[in-house]
A and B are shown apart, each in its own frame.
Chain A
């Protein structure tokens, strides 16, 4: 078993690294979705239409 480990160490480490990256990506996507953010990927602070993505109860009034 140790022989197998040492032979495939590089692969294991690499695979773990890739898995970690994928997990990070998945978590980020889910988190953004929960916070109703992104869509365009940018932060709303400097989007010219920040007012549109986060409507208030008031500004959502339609005349």
Chain B
């Protein structure tokens, strides 16, 4: 007979770390709320019949956020055999708020006080026995990060489940409140399990909407209960929900007094706070953010002495691919007598395409590593908060920025992350613009051009990132002024975890996961695409005869490409190669690089391995390269991401709107950049006029009055105190 133990607790309390410990799996431990939005299951190590359920982090069992609804439905409907409640020892007062609610459910609860190592370091003391006595359940100590106490906590939960003894309900509520609740309990007796009677009664007292919905009580019963509640409210001069909340906190205070001794003054600023003073300082916050991102992209992809990413990539391209593989493989295949077409397919097709992409793996690994550190340290959560101020200006909240943080790895989970945004319009807008942020797959495009035409400068990658962010902001401003998207932004409330030294395990794991998926895609999708591309660019009609062609400008691919290429002429890259590369990017963004690899003969054995750079530089100038990059950065994402958009929008019309918008925006911006750039080179023509008109149009859309904004007078209140 299997036992189910549910893990419940506040966000950032260490639940998922505990879950990993107990089940041996390697679920990711994120650092901001919303990381776990569904329940995850696993088997307890060493116990075949014990199932552990990880629930989303919640502050309470009220029905206000997605996470709370998921957790609450699970606990009430599926009634696990025991609840292991993780409580953050450094933050115990607020954490116990949930505990009081969990105990009311009537399911055996074991409280595990986590982060005991930090508690001791702070000099505080928690008496788990006294705590357990006061709460009416067993309390154990734990330090999930250090791996201490996890199994003991699970064992305690199993024991509690087997005893099936409900803890005695502690006396949380006093006087008239308790009185009213007792009345309600009587009224609904028989309609719900005795086990959960108390919980339902308290919820009804709070006038919990979901409760009322689900219980479907008769009208006269409802009136009767309402009477009790109203009496209580009148007596205590407060509304029901507040009464309950305050009484819970009062109870918790009493418990804390008995069992917890704090050393430091609660109001002293901790190290994390001091860091926050600087990092979120109103003047320094954004510059610090720019510098941090610049550092990340420069170390990963720049051309400086500390750019380990680029150095490793150069070695990979020059030595590994060009010399070892291309040179030797080509020679070997000829030596054993392979037909030239096969050699061509393998060396100029597969190796060229895949090799071009694989060459970037070192840069990607370094990039993913640095981003993972930023995440793990806790900095990313602060970014969402900092960006909230900017986002709010045009009607979005900082919550919309979190998907964009995720999208720097891969756009697909970024788009999915928009699910936490409750406001429908904001969510749609976030989905539409998350694709602007450069994902891991788009970075090789940037890296390739940075190397070929910009001397490997780290600024290219940094500017690409901020162009993405800029595109989001500009889109936000423009769209919020249209009828489709107008509306006030959601409020922003977010708990910020303390900064901590990044955990090597987490960071390395996250880096490896993303890096490996990059490599896997190179070996599958890119490989297949490269083969197809090789055929199409290696065969064509010469003088009416179909066969292999020497010069790929006469190939099938070129013929098709040349039909489409004119579309991109106003943007500066009206070559068939550019057009084809852009289209292959739809399959996977890395394909753009792979395509160039195949088309420009990456596999040509060269002494310096930089031959592709020279050829690229022949077909692109710095300006056209930048315009090309911008277009590919901003236009429709890969099929996988488009699929994600479709799933999230759940609506064909909106999916097309999203894709259309992204392509249109990309086209306009790239055109403006190219045409106006050409002005500096002395060219002034029809294109320039069009570009200027478009630019004027953009500026108008940005600056026009928002007729959908609230007509209340908005008096900007400057905080008098804030310096």
Contacts and interface: CB of A to CB of B under 8 A. Distances in A.
A14 B509 CA distance: 37
Contact of A41 (B66, B521, B528, B531): B521
Interface residues of A, number: 37
A48 B516 CA distance: 15
Nearest to B643: A39
Contacts of A38: 517, 640
Nearest to A6: B337
B525 to A, nearest CB: 7
B193 to A, nearest CB: 20
A39 B641 contact: yes
Interface string A20-62: 0110011011000000001111110111111111111011011
A59 B55 CA distance: 11
A28 B527 CA distance: 12
Interface string B42-68: 000000000000001000000011100
A2 to B, nearest CB: 15
Contacts of A56: 38-39, 70
B35 interface: yes
Contact of B66 (A7, A28, A53, A61): A61
Nearest to B25: A45
A59 B520 CA distance: 30
B667 to A, nearest CB: 26
B422 interface: yes
Contacts of B517: 38, 40-43
A42 B524 contact: no
B37 interface: yes
Contacts of B410: 39-42
A26 B528 contact: yes
B312 interface: no
Report whether over half of chain B's contact residues are helix, strand or loop; otherwise say mixed: helix
A28 B281 CA distance: 50
Nearest to B334: A10
Interface in B320-355: 333, 336-339, 342, 345-346, 350
Contacts of A39: 410, 412, 640-641, 643-644
Interface residues on B, range: 35 or more
Contact of B37 (A7, A9, A45, A52): A52
Contact of B527 (A25, A51, A63): A25
B38 A51 contact: yes
A8 B199 CA distance: 79
A59 B527 contact: no
A40 B520 CA distance: 10
Contact of A40 (B39, B412, B528): B412
B695 interface: no
A46 B336 contact: no
B41 to A, nearest CB: 11
A14 B342 contact: yes
Contacts of A15: 342
Contacts of B516: 42
Contacts of B64: 63
B649 to A, nearest CB: 13
B413 interface: yes
Query: Which of A25, A45, A50, A59 has most chain B Cβ within 10 Å?
Result: A59
B26 A46 contact: yes
B337 A48 contact: no
B587 to A, nearest CB: 11
B419 interface: yes
A51 B411 CA distance: 15
Contacts of A55: 38
Contact of A61 (B27, B69, B513, B531): B69
B26 A45 contact: yes
B416 interface: yes
Given A25-B527, A40-B410, A52-B419, A46 B70 contact: no
20 contacts: A10-B333, A18-B350, A22-B531, A25-B523, A39-B644, A40-B640, A45-B25, A46-B26, A46-B27, A46-B28, A46-B513, A48-B406, A49-B406, A50-B27, A51-B35, A51-B38, A52-B419, A56-B70, A58-B73, A63-B64
Query: Ordered nearest first, which 5 A-B pairs have the shortest CB separation?
Result: A52-B416, A41-B517, A42-B517, A40-B410, A39-B640
Interface of A: 7-11, 14-15, 18, 21-22, 25-26, 28-29, 38-43, 45-56, 58-59, 61-63
Interface of B: 25-28, 30, 35-40, 56, 64-66, 69-70, 73-74, 333, 336-339, 342, 345-346, 350, 375, 406, 409-413, 416-417, 419, 422, 509-510, 513-514, 516-518, 520-521, 523-525, 527-528, 531, 640-641, 643-644
Given A42-B513, A49-B417, 17 more contacts: A10-B337, A11-B339, A18-B342, A18-B346, A22-B527, A25-B523, A26-B528, A42-B514, A47-B513, A48-B375, A50-B28, A51-B37, A56-B38, A56-B70, A59-B56, A61-B70, A63-B69
